[in-house]
Structure 1
Amino acid sequence: MSTVIRRSPQDVYAYASDANNLPAWAAGLTDAPISRDGDALVTESPLGRIRMVFAPRNEFGVLDHWVTLPSGVTTYNALRVIEHPDGAEIIFTLRQLDATDDEFARDAGLVAADLERLRGILEA
């Protein structure tokens, strides 16, 4: 899933990589305050308390992250910001894996809404 944002890739990456901004645009993940526990970010999500570990800041637009759910299961999420002729494109790789078709469709809707929210914030 992807969304084009009419801002530079550097602007999009800077905003999206700031953990303090996650509740504003990533409501599918969390809309609660985020605290730090070492390298991990800890917050409440629709599924309960989660831990997130993001790839280190980098010049390549990589925002990959690992989310550990309350069940202890950790999921890997590939998230990238790349250059686009109209600004930047943010790309989230959504995989179905063991999810049912209904769960996958719900997750796809949440990701699409989050990316659209990010676009709205950055283009405002």
Structure 2
Amino acid sequence: MRSRHVSQVIAVPPAVVYAFAAEPDNLPRWAAGLTGAEVERSGDTLLVESPMGRVTVRFVPRNDLGVLDHDVTLPSGTTVTNPVRVLAHPEGCEVVFTVRQIELTDEELERDVGMVQADLARLKQIVEREG
């Protein structure tokens, strides 16, 4: 299994980016690779219609460390842990997302990396505009 790290520098303080990205209601605005539809909540679990089909998402509890790790349970039943960090950076912050090649061909991995890059670029655009 391979992993790819995708990052985006954002000219906004880490706490602002973390607060926006950690809010499940904001997911459809910036995480189109995960969901383009409204997020349904069932306790701590999010139910979303994704490009892969209906998936469940569970984020780690909110924290002061910038950790946005989340488990995505795919329609196949496989759970993928996605490490995500919002790190301090001299220009504001850097969001780092690790994409893992679980149940993916090399082509599918590259497609997913591209979707994460697009998602992080969208996150940057939104939080830099709304700050």
For the aligned pair, the TM-score class normalised by the smaller chain equals over 0.9
In structure 2, relative to structure 1, the CA distance for the partners of 1:106 and 1:26 (3 Å cut) is same
* Paired position in structure 2 for 1:67: 72
Runs of 4+ off more than 3 Å: none
Counterpart pick for 2:62 among 44, 47, 57: 57
**Where does residue 3 of structure 2 map in the other structure?**
none
The one-letter amino acid paired with 2:71 is W
Give the structure-2-normalised TM-score: 0.92
Any idea what SS the aligned residue of 2:116 has? helix
Quote how far apart the aligned CAs of 1:98 are: 4.2
Counterpart of 2:115? 110
Deviates more, 1:56-65 or 1:94-103: 94-103
Q: In the TM superposition, what whole-angstrom CA distance separates every residue of 1:9-53 from its partner, at most 9, and x where no partner exists?
A: 000000000000000000000011111112100111111111000
Quote the residue 2:16 is aligned against. Answer: 11
Stretches of structure 1 lacking an aligned partner (at least 5 in a row):
none
CA distance 1:47–1:97, change in 2 (3 Å): closer
Q: Displacement of 1:99 after TM fit? A: 1.9
Q: Determine which of 21, 25, 31 is the counterpart of 1:20.
A: 25
Structure 1 residue 101, shift from structure 2 partner: 1.2
Could you tell me the percent identity over the aligned residues? 55
Q: Distance in 2 between matches of 1:79 and 1:28?
A: 14
Residue 53 (structure 2) aligned to one of 43, 48, 52 = 48
